[in-house]
């Protein structure tokens, strides 16, 4: 017991330092929205500066520490000014990847300067032991660290609670929109916070270096527990962050002392971080969530001509020229490229940042060696088994993704890779693996390097085709829909969690194939290369190459150490070239700042441009389709297909049910958004819902579609009670809705936005989609919507190329295309011109009259509602104030009063009409 206490007290000091590190993360995140993955590297930088000044230059310890802290602060400012400021307003994913660029640059900078041998630094704190009770003692320095941690945390708390700087930071943190409008002021706030964040990292690094030893792996490893602590505080709260850090450190110390299991410290950190995140996570972002732009995706249309061309070129190089050094370099690069294909699926298509892909590849390698060491399993079967066995591991990761997104997910996956590294891969022994043979032919790369390389290239091509197929398939559309807008995806019936699990599963299998091929490359296998830093690097290179393109990995693979880039540098330099990782990091930063879509997209654009120029001079080029990036996924727009042709069959149609709300109440804190509302929408009718702003109309839609739970009452669809079902289930039951804020899928074309809505109710078959993606046409409901809303000409345009008004139309069409029994439209007419309003009215009427659906129409335009609806309900302050025939509601005194305050009825009606015309 006393021993236990001693361990606990011993852990408090380092825990406090971890807390400081975490506070730096929180400061930066609060003020700029950047989850700074480079923070651990910044701490390492502080540690090295301190060591260099105190141990090498002989400066007094305290002075060295002070300089290290200030220098780290300045580096923080540089990061803000050079990298983060140009990225202001970008998607969280983009900012996170920007910080990865910084991480790589600092990391390789330190490696180039100080090498990888661990250093030991002298502590500025006095050493010696203090007895605390019955012969148990702790180091004085540990207690002092705790004191320092508490003092600094208290100082920060005071700074942020009482100073103008602190209150402005809070304002910026709580209202990102205000931050955007503040402009320069928010820049200064960001600079201040980045300085403080950097200084905290430097302080923690300088103080921890003597305790934990100074080496890059250890220091960088601190980022995971520090991120865990920061997330425990919700990236907002200072005290909770410190508490989280202490808990993590204590758990780590206790588990390593009591459990004899390799990597148990990392594992316990992981478990605690996951537990904290799961307690905090939200499964669907709430209404305030604004999706930001993400890297462009290729179309997934394969160019067989280009593929054949490159395959022939590659074959000629390998088999005719037989350059030994190049064969080896290309092999290294191609193996990494296969793992990067998995990043295209998970991060490019599905938008989930995974920093564990190389770890998953490592799992594949482990399965391969374990299998072959136990039984004589043929190579191809090993490949298959390893891929299949890695899928569940990826799916477990996806379970995390279901409750969290973006930054938290990146942390979880990173932590997962760290755990794998500390446990399954930590065994430094060399394992042996037999030579790969296929149908008796030996592909062993020692004897037949050309054969093995050709095999790897063929595997890459096959997987590349599968990944491109996925992009064009219904599963792929779902992935892209989830990436673009989880709320809207759920509302049309996509099971968001399952979709993410599918993406993780496919990506894991691809990564595992890469890992198996890594393992078979040489008869002697070690697992230690499958570290988390490699996973981070590979994400970086994929982004540089183009996250959304199958060609992305082919470009990104150049940066792999020992690969094509290294070989190229060797040819040019003749000397060992160690700067390649640095170039990779800088390339990532430049990519993020200049063109986030990556080089594939740039090349595609350039090739199209050159071709357009040439075709003016050379007429024979004119008729052929515009060529784009080399490789499998060049960008080509498919010729617009007409909307005629055999439509896909409609889903259920007979027996449309009516929607019934009974006694539904909702409150948000003190706001009573809905009070005892009852309402019925019957098939074949349009039910108008009017009321002033804040009356609770959108809340009613949220209750019916499942985004907001009701406190009392029931919601029925026909005789089925739906108010306890998840969002997607209600969509399958037949509830369709539009959103006031549109919530389209920005990366999909209009056609695909409609298609994804029409397909959402069908079961998915991923394997078929990887091999043979089926073309589905628009269903009857979608075709009708397209016809009524005159969308024929825009079907093949991407959403972000449309005007706001047209996007509104698409949002309506998507709701109609979902083929739901009940269609709920939230202020569809706002922002539409008169002609479009007429079209809208006709389309809505047709939904009820021709298709017999139940339509609930929320609208501010009273004329439109009255002209279109069969029944109108008026809400005010969450209560139904009138319901009945349009004419009845229009002349109802309370309705008039709620729109205008008490005036004479006639004036009110006139005013209502005028008011709505202004909107």
**671 interface partner picked from ligand ADP, Mg ion, none, CB below 5 to 8 A per type:** ligand ADP
Please report, as residue ranges, which positions from 276 to 315 form the binding site for ligand ADP (by CB under 6 A). Answer: 286-287
The residue sitting closest to Mg ion, measured at its beta carbon, is 698
CB 856 to ligand ADP: min, Å:
13
Per DSSP, 669 falls in state T
Nearest distance, CB of residue 739 and ligand ADP, angstroms: 11
Q: Which of 454, 658, 698, 815 binds Mg ion (CB under 5 A)?
A: 698
**On the CB side of 481, how many CA atoms lie within 13 Å of its CA?**
32
Binding residues for Mg ion, how many (CB under 5 A)? Answer: 2
Strand 735-737 relative to strand 822-826, pairing = parallel
28: closest CA among 182, 176, 161, 173? 173
Residues in the chain: 919
**Tokens in use for 762?**
């069908």
Nearer to ligand ADP, 136 or 879 (CB): 879
Q: Which does 683 bind (CB under 5 to 8 A by kind): Mg ion, ligand ADP, none?
A: none
Measured from the CB atom, is 72 or 698 closer to Mg ion?
698
Measured from the CB of residue 689, what is the shortest distance to Mg ion in angstroms? Answer: 10
Helical spans, DSSP H, in 213-263: 216-221, 223-232, 238-258
Identify the H or E element spanning 620. Answer: none
Residue 259 in the binding site for ligand ADP (CB under 6 A): no
Smallest gap from Cβ 698 to Mg ion, in A, equals 3
**Partners of 666 in beta bridges:** 674
Q: Which of these ranges, 221-229, 466-474, 523-531, 696-704, lies near ligand ADP under the rule CB under 6 A?
A: 696-704
Site string for Mg ion, 731-750 (x = CB under 5 A): ---------x----------
The sheet carrying 671-681 orders its strands as: 671-681, 659-668, 712-717, 720-721
Q: Which is nearer to ligand ADP, 166 or 692 (CB)?
A: 692
When the beta carbons of 10 and 883 are compared against ligand ADP, the nearer one is 883
- Cross-strand partners of 320: none
Please report how close the Cβ of residue 701 comes to Mg ion at its closest, in angstroms: 8
Give helix then strand counts, H and E, for the chain. 37, 16
Collapse the DSSP code of 761 into the 3-class scheme (helix H, G, I; strand E, B; otherwise coil) and give the result. Answer: coil
* Near Mg ion in 548-567, by CB under 5 A: none
Contact partner at residue 673 from ligand ADP, Mg ion, none, CB < 5 to 8 Å by partner kind: ligand ADP
Give the up-direction half-sphere exposure of residue 592: CA atoms within 13 A in the CB hemisphere: 29
Going by C-alpha positions, the residue among 474, 765, 493, 780 that lies closest to residue 649 is: 780
Report in angstroms the alpha-carbon separations of 821 from 150, 325, 652, 847, 855: 60, 64, 9, 10, 8
Q: Which stretch binds ligand ADP (CB under 6 A): 493-501, 551-559, 603-611, 697-705?
A: 697-705
Binding at 894: pick from ligand ADP, Mg ion, none (beta carbon under 5-8 Å per type): none
Binding mask 750-789 for ligand ADP (x = CB under 6 A): ----------------------------------------
If one asks whether residue 696 binds ligand ADP (CB under 6 A), the answer comes out as: yes
Please give the Cα distance from 556 to 541 (Å, whole number).
5
**Contact partner, 439, from Mg ion, ligand ADP, none, Cβ < 5-8 Å per class:** none
Element (H, E) at 884: strand 879-884
Nearest approach, Cβ of residue 663 and Mg ion (Å): 22
Return the number of the residue (555 or 874) whose C-beta is nearest ligand ADP: 874
DSSP bridge partners of 437? 442
Compare residues 286 and 894 and give the one whose CB is closer to ligand ADP: 286
Candidates 6-14, 477-485, 593-601, 696-704: pick the segment binding Mg ion (CB under 5 A). 696-704
Apex CA 228: angle with CA 218 and CA 358, to 5°?
60
Binds ligand ADP by CB under 6 A, chosen from 477, 611, 651, 697: 697
Structure-token pair, residue 686 = 């349009």
Q: Which two tokens stand for residue 590?
A: 């430049």
**DSSP character string of 786-828:** HHHTT-GGGTTSBGGGS-HHHHHHHHHHHHHHTT-SEEEEEST
Encoded tokens for 344: 């295209």
Q: What is the closest distance, in whole angstroms, from the C-beta atom of residue 879 to ligand ADP in the complex?
A: 12
At residue 83, the 3 state secondary structure works out as helix
Q: Identify what 696 binds: ligand ADP, Mg ion, none; CB under 5 to 8 Å per kind.
A: ligand ADP
State which residue, 670 or 901, has the beta carbon closest to ligand ADP: 670
Instruction: Count the neighbouring beta carbons within 10 Å of the beta carbon of residue 442.
Output: 12
Distance between CA atoms of 239 and 153, rounded to whole angstroms?
A: 8
In the bound complex, what is the minimum distance in angstroms from residue 274's beta carbon to Mg ion? 37
Phi, psi of 601 (to 5 degrees): -70, -40
- Alpha-carbon span 260 to 857, nearest angstrom: 64
> Max alpha carbon distance in the chain (Å)?
97
The rounded distance, in Å, linking the Cα atoms of 207 and 27 is 20
Residue 244 binding partner per list ligand ADP, Mg ion, none, with a CB distance cut-off of 5 to 8 Å that depends on partner kind: none
Is the distance from CB of 40 to CB of 24 less than 8 angstroms? no
Closer Cβ to ligand ADP, 287 or 729, answer by number? 287
Q: Which does 699 bind (CB under 5 to 8 A by kind): ligand ADP, Mg ion, none?
A: ligand ADP
* Residue 287 interacting partner from Mg ion, ligand ADP, none (CB closer than 5 to 8 Å by kind): ligand ADP
**Sign of the alpha-carbon dihedral angle for 416, 417, 422, 426:** positive
Of 525, 513, 520, which is closest to residue 388 (Cα–Cα)?
A: 513
234 binds, among Mg ion, ligand ADP, none (CB under 5 to 8 A by kind): none
Distance, in Å, from the CA atom of 564 to the CA atom of 462, rounded to the nearest integer, reads: 21
Q: How far apart are CA 713 and CA 709, in angstroms?
A: 10
Size of the residue set binding ligand ADP (CB under 6 A): 13
Instruction: Kindly state the smallest distance separating residue 169's Cβ from ligand ADP, in Å.
Output: 24
Restricted to residues 650-689, the positions that interact with ligand ADP (CB under 6 A) are: 668, 671, 673
Please choose, out of 110-118, 236-244, 510-518, 694-702, the segment that lies near ligand ADP by the rule CB under 6 A.
694-702
Note whether 552 and 341 are within 8 A (CB). no
- Minimum distance from CB of 673 to Mg ion (Å)? 10
Please choose which of Mg ion, ligand ADP, none residue 668 contacts, taking the beta carbon within 5 to 8 angstroms, the exact cut-off set by kind. Answer: ligand ADP
- Residue 693 contact partner, candidates ligand ADP, Mg ion, none, CB within 5 to 8 A by sort of partner: ligand ADP
Closest distance to ligand ADP from the beta carbon of 835 (Å): 26
Answer yes or no whether residue 695 interacts with ligand ADP by CB under 6 A: yes
What's the min distance (Å) between Cβ of 721 and ligand ADP? 23
Give the one entry of ligand ADP, Mg ion, none that residue 136 binds, where binding means its C-beta sits below a cut-off of 5 to 8 angstroms depending on kind: none
* 3-class secondary-structure state, position 919: coil
DSSP 648: B
The Cα–Cα gap between 204 and 206 comes to 6
Nearest distance in Å: CB 700, Mg ion: 9
Report the residue number, 291 or 691, with the smaller CB distance to ligand ADP. Answer: 691
Q: Smallest distance, Å, CB 673 to ligand ADP?
A: 3
Q: Quick count: other Cβ atoms within 10 Å of Cβ 475?
A: 25
Give least dist CB 672 to ligand ADP, A: 8
Spatial neighbors of 403 by CB under 8 A, at least 6 apart, are: 277, 278, 281, 282, 283
Among 234, 684, 694, 713, binds ligand ADP (CB under 6 A): 694
> Which residues contact ligand ADP by CB under 6 A?
286-287, 668, 671, 673, 691, 693-699
**Interface residue list for Mg ion (CB under 5 A):** 698, 740
């Amino acid at each position: 017991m006393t021993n236990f206490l001693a361990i606990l007290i011993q852990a408090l000091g380092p825990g406090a330092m971890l807390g400081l590190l975490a506070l730096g993360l929180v400061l930066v995140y609060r003020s700029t929205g950047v989850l700074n993955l480079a923070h651990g590297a910044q701490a390492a930088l502080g540690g090295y500066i301190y060591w260099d000044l105190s141990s090498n230059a002989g400066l007094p310890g305290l002075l060295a520490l002070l300089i290290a802290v200030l220098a780290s602060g300045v580096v923080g400012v540089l990061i803000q000014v050079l990298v983060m400021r140009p990225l202001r307003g970008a998607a969280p994913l983009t900012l996170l990847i920007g910080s990865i660029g910084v991480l790589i640059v600092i990391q390789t900078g330190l490696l180039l300067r100080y090498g990888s041998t661990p250093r030991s630094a002298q502590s500025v704190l006095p050493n010696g032991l203090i007895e605390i009770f019955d012969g148990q003692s702790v180091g004085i320095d540990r207690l002092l660290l705790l004191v320092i941690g508490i003092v600094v945390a208290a100082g920060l708390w005071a700074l942020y609670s009482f100073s103008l700087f602190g209150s402005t930071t809070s304002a910026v943190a709580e209202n990102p929109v205000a931050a955007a409008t503040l402009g320069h002021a928010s820049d200064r706030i960001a600079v201040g916070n980045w300085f403080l964040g950097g200084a905290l990292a430097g302080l923690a690094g300088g103080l921890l270096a003597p305790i934990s030893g100074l080496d890059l792996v250890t220091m960088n490893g601190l980022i995971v527990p520090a991120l865990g602590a920061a997330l425990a505080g919700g990236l907002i709260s200072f005290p909770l962050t410190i508490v989280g850090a202490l808990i993590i450190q204590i758990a780590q110390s206790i588990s390593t002392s009591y459990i004899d299991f390799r990597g148990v410290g990392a594992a316990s950190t992981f478990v605690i971080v996951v537990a904290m995140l799961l307690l905090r996570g939200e499964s669907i972002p709430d209404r305030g969530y604004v999706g930001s732009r993400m890297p462009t995706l290729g179309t997934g249309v394969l160019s067989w001509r280009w593929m054949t061309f490159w395959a022939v070129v590659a074959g000629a190089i390998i088999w005719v020229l037989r350059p030994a050094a190049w064969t080896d370099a290309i092999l290294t690069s191609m193996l990494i490229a296969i793992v990067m294909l998995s990043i295209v699926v998970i991060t490019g298509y599905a938008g989930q940042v995974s920093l564990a892909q190389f770890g998953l590849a490592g799992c594949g390698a482990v399965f391969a060696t374990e299998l072959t060491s136990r039984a004589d399993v043929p190579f191809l079967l090993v490949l298959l088994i390893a891929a299949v066995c890695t899928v569940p591991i990826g799916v477990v990761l996806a379970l995390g993704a279901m409750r969290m997104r973006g930054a938290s997910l990146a942390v979880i996956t990173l932590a997962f890779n760290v755990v794998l590294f500390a446990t399954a891969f930590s065994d430094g022994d060399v394992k042996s693996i037999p030579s790969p043979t296929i149908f008796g032919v030996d592909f062993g790369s020692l004897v037949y390097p050309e054969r093995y390389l050709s095999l790897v290239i063929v595997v890459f091509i096959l997987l590349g085709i599968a990944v491109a197929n996925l992009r064009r398939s219904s599963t792929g559309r779902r992935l892209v829909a989830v990436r673009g807008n989880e709320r809207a995806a759920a509302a049309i019936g996509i099971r968001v969690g399952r979709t993410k699990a599918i993406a993780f599963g496919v990506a894991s299998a691809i990564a595992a194939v890469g890992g198996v091929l890594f393992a078979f490359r040489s008869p002697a296998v070690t697992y230690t290369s499958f570290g988390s830093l490699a996973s981070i690097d590979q994400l970086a290179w994929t982004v540089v190459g183009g996250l959304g393109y199958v060609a992305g990995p082919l470009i990104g693979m150049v940066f792999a150490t020992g690969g094509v880039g290294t070989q190229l540098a060797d040819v040019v330099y003749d000397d060992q070239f160690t700067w390649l990782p640095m170039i990779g990091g800088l390339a990532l930063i430049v990519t993020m700042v200049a063109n986030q879509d990556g080089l594939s997209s740039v090349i595609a654009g350039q090739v199209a441009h050159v071709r357009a120029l040439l075709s003016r001079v050379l007429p024979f080029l004119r008729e052929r389709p515009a060529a784009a990036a080399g490789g499998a996924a060049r960008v080509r727009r498919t010729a617009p297909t007409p909307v005629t042709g055999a439509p896909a069959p409609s889903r259920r149609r007979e027996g449309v049910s009516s929607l019934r709300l009974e006694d539904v109440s909702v409150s948000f804190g003190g706001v009573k958004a809905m009070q005892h509302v009852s309402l019925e929408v019957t098939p074949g009718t349009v039910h108008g819902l009017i009321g002033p702003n804040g009356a609770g109309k959108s809340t009613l839609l949220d209750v019916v579609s499942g985004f907001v739970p009701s406190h009392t009452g029931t919601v029925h669809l026909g005789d089925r009670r739906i108010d306890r079902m998840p969002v997607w289930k209600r969509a399958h039951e037949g509830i369709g809705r539009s959103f006031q804020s549109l919530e389209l899928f920005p990366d999909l074309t209009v056609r695909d936005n409609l298609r994804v809505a029409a397909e959402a109710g069908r079961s998915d078959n991923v394997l078929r989609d990887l091999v043979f993606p089926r073309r589905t046409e628009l269903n009857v409901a979608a075709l009708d919507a397209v016809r009524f809303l005159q969308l024929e000409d825009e079907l093949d345009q991407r959403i972000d190329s449309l005007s706001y008004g047209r996007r509104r139309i698409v949002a309506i069409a998507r709701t109609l295309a979902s083929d739901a029994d009940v269609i709920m439209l939230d202020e569809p007419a706002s922002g539409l011109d008169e002609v479009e309003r007429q079209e809208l009215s006709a389309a809505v009427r047709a939904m009820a009259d021709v298709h017999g659906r139940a339509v609930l129409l929320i609208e501010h335009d009273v004329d439109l509602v009255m002209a279109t609806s069969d029944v109108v309900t008026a809400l005010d302050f969450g209560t139904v104030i009138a319901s009945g025939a349009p004419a009845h509601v229009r002349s109802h005194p309370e309705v008039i009063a709620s729109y205008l305050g008490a005036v004479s009825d006639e004036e009110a009606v006139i005013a209502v009409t005028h008011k709505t015309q202004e909107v």
